[in-house]
Structure 1
Amino acid sequence: MRTTYRRPGRLVAFAAVTALATSLLAGCSSDDEGDSASSDGKVTLNVGTFGVLGLKQAGLYDEYEKSHPNIKIKENVIERNDAYYPKLLTQLQSGAGVNDVAAIEVSNITEVVQTQGAKFEDLSKAEGVNKSTYLDWKWDQGTTDDGKTIGLGVDIGPTALCYRKDLFKKAGLPTDREELAKAWSGDWDKYVELGEKYMKKAPDGTKFVDSASSVYNAVFAGATERYYDKSGKEIYEKSQGRKDAWDAAMKVAKGDMSAKLKQFDPTWDQGFANAKFATVACPAWMAGYIQEKTGASGKGQWDMAKAPKEGNWGGTFLGVPSAGKHKKEATELAVWLTQPEQLSKVFAKQASFPSTPSAYDSLKPSPATKAYFNNAPITKIYGDIAKNIPSVIYGLKDAQIGQSITDIGVLQVEQQGKSPAEGWEAAQKEIKDVLGQ
């Protein structure tokens, strides 16, 4: 999923290439699935997503096609949002190559609402949509100041910690989820201290955590003061939430407990598959990612515990671009996909937590998912966190600022041996570049 970007200079070049490519494809293809009905008379709806959203994995597309024999659904997935989002912006600007339904990550939603709202259908007026179905704050995030709702909530990201109990056991650490949650409750420093203990007897070739950026994002997930204030002014330099997350990440980056992997890169996926790290920050959507990337070898080895503090990392919306060729059918699909009944099925498959509170009392993970995480009480863990997620403010360039910090600042310290001061200076330079300052 989830919080990624490109610098303006690179974005312009990327956008130009993408626009040219989509224009050429649109002009050359005689059976463009996004633009016309297929030869069998079915309408193909293209759904643009990033990462593992879970709609396909939960069988929702197949279910919808069976009840709508005139519809064929094609999911177009880009692994990282930093590649997906610039492409989405390019498509919206050019009007070419747009997906009929487009996923939008929460850290981008403010920018999309404020700068691209006119390029989306108003889903608040769609048949079957009821504002009360969704979390109030989630609905508000996808709605413009004049009341146009351009995105319906799919999931939110209540954040736990996932850990490999087999590696914990080999390192001589407790493996009981309740004992671990109690040990680090209320203080991320206690989690870091446990990492230091792990490294004293770490199984060969393993580290305590996947990356310092993972720790940054997990700590920041619980911050009430983030990158912007209520007026829309950037406050990332003085933000206490940012400072706390940075300090925790630096303790990990300067220590020996990180596998030093860049999240959502192929090497990170390989780290899951090869059991190279013992813990990872685990927002609800990450549970499905872990299952997919670790595979059968991780079944029963992964477990889940409450994080030191409650927080929300990530979440997604579905919107319908107005440049799409099948807006009516796309709107019907987007509405159906984001109803409680459907989102409950996504949770059952891979624990992605719904944006629809009416589903919470009946949520049940699938036996396969529960077994994968050592029969952890997944619903209770995420449900308890979701009830206490702090209210936060997202700004226009929230994703870009965050990614400047993690993929520039933190990585320079972690992978290149720079000092924390040098890493923060590099992050600030990148942020100012992003903001055009």
Structure 2
Amino acid sequence: MPRTAVVLAATAALAAGLLTGCAEDSGDEPGGSSGGGGGGGKGGTTLTVGVFGAFGLQEAGLYEEYERLNPDIEIKQNSVQRNENYWPALLTHLSSGSGLSDVQAVEVGNVAELTGTHAGKLMDLGKVSGVDKKAFLDWKWQQATTEDGKTIGLGTDVGPTGICYRKDLFEKAGLPTDREAVGKLWAGDWEKYLETGERYQEKAPKGTSFVDGATGVMAAVHASGERKFYDEDGELIYKDSPGVKEGWDIAARFAKAGLTAKLQQFQPSWDQAFANGSFATITCPPWMLGYIKDKAGDKAEDQWDVAAAPKPGNWGGSFLTVPEAGKNKEEAAKLVAWLTAPEQQAKLFDKRASFPSASAAYDLPEVRDAKNPYFGDAPVGKIFSKAAEGVPVQPIGPKDGIIQQYLADTGMLGVDQKGTSPDKAWDKVTKTIDNALDQ
């Protein structure tokens, strides 16, 4: 799923009752006009932070807190609403060495392009005082680290996945509703998730399906494998990857068995289906909980719950980087180290539902004790911490987002909505991907 959709979903999630905030759109330039800062610093050094979407650092009060701790620093945020505008402009400015903010945010789907081709233009943040590699999830740290060991970005958040499910629909279909029992239905195996769907469909309440759509299933399986589209050497392997094949085959079987509501995610019909209670399960990272609450509404409170996924994967997340061309790069690096420290990540989760990429934050009370009342007081801190620690160290490549989008929208969507043969759809989509990548 493209990060643009993730950003929009996260924005909606935040607006849905976790805590609200609105990022200002200051145009298409990552180093463009300021969207404002913490408001408390009037020091001699102004640090600019370039972000996309409702990133949350400013809204959670972290800039203001840093300014109080460092009176000589003032922080101003440059915000672009959509990553699809932010990212190309950032690449242009990195290439020219001008027009950059002191700190630049980078979405996980783009970070491999930086480690592969632009690492020399960014500071090695792994060497900054106060940064502890062991405090971060290993797979998150590796995503922004080059082959020769240079860490060009520090993680702000991750999107470990669970399965959100409707307890009322499960009960009507004769399935258990307790989250521990539900998780055991499919523990460790996406095949068991399919089998649970077949059981559900035998007694499914009228007008409901087990899952929203086949594309979501496919993405979840892909995210949970050891390999996806690239191997450890950066070679493109998506056609022969066992994980990609498993995701494609299982998703196609969901479609052919009639277990899906044939929906495309982040479309109006998908949003309406939450309100109508049209499907019983969906793969969900922490930010999805607020989205569900927003779309399903008050009438569905305590009908949704969260269980562990068959295998954990990751959906979403970002990094902070410091361009070498920056005028205040040493101070900027100190700011990034502080913003991504476990204590600040725990605060960001508490205020903005951005799940920490620093595993050292998981024992802090803001994370450890977190519950979601809309989801039956589900212990979301513990559920997603366990999921995050189980995500595989999966190689990511510069074109991951493009490949995933084509596999979903050009490939699996046709299988799900039009009944296209999986083999025919696969042949078509691989040709489309190869053309897009000039293979």
Q: Which amino acid aligns with 1:424?
A: W
Q: Which residue of 2 aligns with 1:29?
A: none
Secondary structure of 2:161 counterpart: strand
Q: Which residue of 1 aligns with 2:10?
A: none
1:21/1:285 Cα in 2 relative to 1: closer, same or farther (>3 Å)?
Answer: closer
Deviation (angstroms), 1:394: 2.2
Q: How does 1:196-345 map to 2 (within 5 A)?
A: 196-200=198-202, 202-203=204-205, 206-265=208-267, 267-272=269-274, 275-291=277-293, 294=296, 296-322=298-324, 327=329, 330-345=332-347
Q: Which amino acid aligns with 2:220?
A: A
1:346/1:253 Cα in 2 relative to 1: closer, same or farther (>3 Å)?
Answer: farther
**Separation in 2, partners of 1:96, 1:413:** 46
Deviation (angstroms), 1:317: 1.5
More moved, 424-433 vs 162-171: 162-171
Q: Which amino acid aligns with 2:308?
A: K
Q: CA RMSD in A?
A: 3.7
**Separation in 2, partners of 1:376, 1:282:** 13
Asked if structure 1 preserves the Cα contact closer than 8 Å seen for 2:371 and 2:380, the reply is no
Q: Which amino acid aligns with 2:125?
A: L
Asked if structure 1 preserves the Cα contact closer than 8 Å seen for 2:369 and 2:381, the reply is no
Asked if structure 2 preserves the Cα contact closer than 8 Å seen for 1:46 and 1:75, the reply is yes
The answer to whether residue 402 in structure 2 is matched with residue 400 in structure 1 is yes
Q: How does 1:334-413 map to 2 (within 5 A)?
A: 334-349=336-351, 352-365=354-367, 369-413=371-415
**Separation in 1, partners of 2:371, 2:393:** 29
Deviation (angstroms), 1:235: 1.6
Q: Which residue of 2 aligns with 1:186?
A: 188
1:276/1:73 Cα in 2 relative to 1: closer, same or farther (>3 Å)?
Answer: farther
1:48/1:351 Cα in 2 relative to 1: closer, same or farther (>3 Å)?
Answer: closer
Select 1:113's aligned residue among 99, 112, 115.
115
**Separation in 1, partners of 2:273, 2:51:** 27
1:145/1:237 Cα in 2 relative to 1: closer, same or farther (>3 Å)?
Answer: closer
Q: Which residue of 1 aligns with 2:74?
A: 71
After superposition, what is the alpha-carbon deviation per residue over 1:331-376, rounded to whole angstroms, capped at 9, x for unaligned?
3432222110011123334654322222222254498852122122
Compute the TM-score of the two structures, normalised by the length of structure 1.
Answer: 0.79
Asked if structure 2 preserves the Cα contact closer than 8 Å seen for 1:34 and 1:100, the reply is no
**Separation in 1, partners of 2:265, 2:96:** 30
Q: Which residue of 1 aligns with 2:51?
A: 48
Identity among equivalent positions (%) equals: 49
Deviation (angstroms), 1:395: 2.8
Q: Which residue of 2 aligns with 1:162?
A: 164
After superposition, what is the alpha-carbon deviation per residue over 1:276-298, rounded to whole angstroms, capped at 9, x for unaligned?
43321123443454445555555
**Separation in 2, partners of 1:268, 1:323:** 44
Deviation (angstroms), 1:58: 4.1
Structure 1 gap ranges (5+): 6-19, 27-31
1:350/1:419 Cα in 2 relative to 1: closer, same or farther (>3 Å)?
Answer: farther
Instruction: Give 4+ residue runs of structure 1 displaced > 6 Å after superposition.
Output: none
Structure 2 gap ranges (5+): 6-26
Compute the TM-score of the two structures, normalised by the length of structure 2.
Answer: 0.79
**Separation in 1, partners of 2:174, 2:135:** 46
1:375/1:124 Cα in 2 relative to 1: closer, same or farther (>3 Å)?
Answer: same
1:61/1:268 Cα in 2 relative to 1: closer, same or farther (>3 Å)?
Answer: farther
Asked if structure 1 preserves the Cα contact closer than 8 Å seen for 2:34 and 2:79, the reply is no
Asked if structure 1 preserves the Cα contact closer than 8 Å seen for 2:137 and 2:389, the reply is no
Q: Which amino acid aligns with 1:361?
A: D
Q: How does 1:413-424 map to 2 (within 5 A)?
A: 413-424=415-426
Secondary structure of 1:316 counterpart: strand
Deviation (angstroms), 1:245: 0.6
Asked if structure 1 preserves the Cα contact closer than 8 Å seen for 2:369 and 2:379, the reply is no
Asked if structure 1 preserves the Cα contact closer than 8 Å seen for 2:34 and 2:76, the reply is no
Secondary structure of 1:168 counterpart: helix
After superposition, what is the alpha-carbon deviation per residue over 1:249-298, rounded to whole angstroms, capped at 9, x for unaligned?
11223343323333344554454455443321123443454445555555
**Separation in 2, partners of 1:178, 1:60:** 36
Q: Which residue of 2 aligns with 1:10?
A: none
Asked if structure 2 preserves the Cα contact closer than 8 Å seen for 1:188 and 1:308, the reply is yes
**Separation in 2, partners of 1:268, 1:56:** 31
1:153/1:406 Cα in 2 relative to 1: closer, same or farther (>3 Å)?
Answer: same
Q: Which residue of 2 aligns with 1:9?
A: none
Deviation (angstroms), 1:205: 5.2
Q: Which residue of 2 aligns with 1:15?
A: none
**Separation in 2, partners of 1:225, 1:214:** 18
**Separation in 1, partners of 2:28, 2:185:** 53
The answer to whether residue 431 in structure 2 is matched with residue 429 in structure 1 is yes
**Separation in 1, partners of 2:276, 2:92:** 37
Q: How many residues align?
A: 414
Q: Which residue of 2 aligns with 1:33?
A: 34
1:56/1:295 Cα in 2 relative to 1: closer, same or farther (>3 Å)?
Answer: farther
Deviation (angstroms), 1:226: 2.1
After superposition, what is the alpha-carbon deviation per residue over 1:351-410, rounded to whole angstroms, capped at 9, x for unaligned?
543222222222544988521221223233223333333332223423322222122211
**Separation in 2, partners of 1:360, 1:298:** 29
Q: Which residue of 1 aligns with 2:91?
A: 89
After superposition, what is the alpha-carbon deviation per residue over 1:288-327, rounded to whole angstroms, capped at 9, x for unaligned?
5444555555543321111122333443211134455664
Q: Which amino acid aligns with 1:249?
A: A
